[in-house]
Amino acid sequence: MVLLTIIILILLVETSYLTYRTFKVSESRTSGRAPLFIDTSALMDGRIVTAAQTGFLPSPIAIPNSVINELQLLADQADAEKRSRARRGLDAIKELQEINWLDVKVVKDGPTGSGGVDTRLIELAKKHHGTICTIDFNLNKVASVQGVRVLNINELAGSIRMAFLPGETISLPLTQKGQNSTQAVGYLADGTMVVVEKAAGQIGKTVEIEFIRSLQTAAGRMMFARLKALSKDEQNKSKRKAETKAEPQPVKATKPKANRSSSRRTKEDSLIELVNSQD
């Protein structure tokens, strides 16, 4: 019994040690991650919450007290638009804190000094080897010059927007039939599938198409297009080409008409002279 008790105690000690070691390693890894500092403009924009909910923002997220104080000052201003956006920023902080898998911390950074909130953000990012999330153009430039990595939501949105909008035209090779017997399918350089209406007869050719609309699904983006309609100038050019290729009409065919018209005028003149001479 004594030996069994000793073995059980040894196993318990080893298990406790392994659990403690695993916890410390995971804690050190979490604490060692570079924080993402959120500035006032990104919080007021509101898109940061959507980016966080979809898992595109790194953790942990750090929100300095100076940023919260600036939002509070803006929320107390008389300007209705600034007041509304500042309150939206304060709501965004709460929404970020409610995301389960996201570690959001409020950092006590003290007074901002003469440099303001932007300078304090850059100092914090340098100190903790972190990143700044902003949509402020000037802060983006200053932080980049000083070697601080910046996550700009406007640049992110611009990078993932549709390459082509409805009404734009491009040349596209059509490679296969679509789901409908009248459709043809081609692919953009990024792999986006383009379904072209009434183009089944153009498969294997490169044609001019005009984008109509796009469809975004969980599986990816699909675009719909149609064959580009000829403009009036292009229609006139094609008509002239067709007339040039057609057999030319004989020139002699027009001469008799001119002669007949001239002969008619001559007979009419002679009749008028005859009437005048009789008078």
List of residues 6+ apart from 224 with CB closer than 8 A: 194, 195, 196, 197, 211, 212, 213, 214, 215
Q: What is the mean pLDDT of the chain?
A: 78
Report residue 244 as tokens: 């040039």
Say which residue, 73 or 26, is predicted with more confidence. 73
How many H helices and E strands in the chain?
Answer: 10, 10
pLDDT in tens, 50-61: 889 888 888 899
List of residues 6+ apart from 16 with CB closer than 8 A: none
Q: How far apart are CA 149 and CA 146, in angstroms?
A: 9
So what CATH class is 33-159? Answer: alpha beta
Please tell me the predicted confidence (pLDDT) of residue 97. Answer: 93
**pTM more than 0.75:** no
Q: How far apart are CA 101 and CA 60, in angstroms?
A: 10
Q: State yes or no: pLDDT of 163 exceeds 80.
A: no
Q: Please name the residue that has the structure tokens 């390693």.
A: 25
Q: Where are the domains of the chain?
A: 33-159, 169-227
Given the candidates 2.40.50, 2.60.40, 3.40.50, 2.40.128, the CATH classification of the domain at 169-227 is: 2.40.50
In degrees rounded to 5, what are phi and psi of residue 204? 95, -5
Please tell me the predicted confidence (pLDDT) of residue 269. Answer: 59
Angle, alpha carbons 180-183-187 (nearest 5°): 120
Nearest to 51 by CA among 152, 131, 144: 152
Q: How far apart are CA 264 and CA 211, in angstroms?
A: 60
Taking only Cα atoms into account, the Rg of the chain, rounded to an integer number of angstroms, comes to: 38
Query: Can the peptide bond before residue 58 be classed as cis, meaning omega within 30 degrees of 0?
Result: no
Say which residue, 44 or 155, is predicted with more confidence. 44
Q: Could you tell me the end-to-end alpha-carbon distance of the chain, in angstroms, rounded to an integer?
A: 160
Question: For residue 115, how many other CB atoms are within 10 A of its CB?
Answer: 11
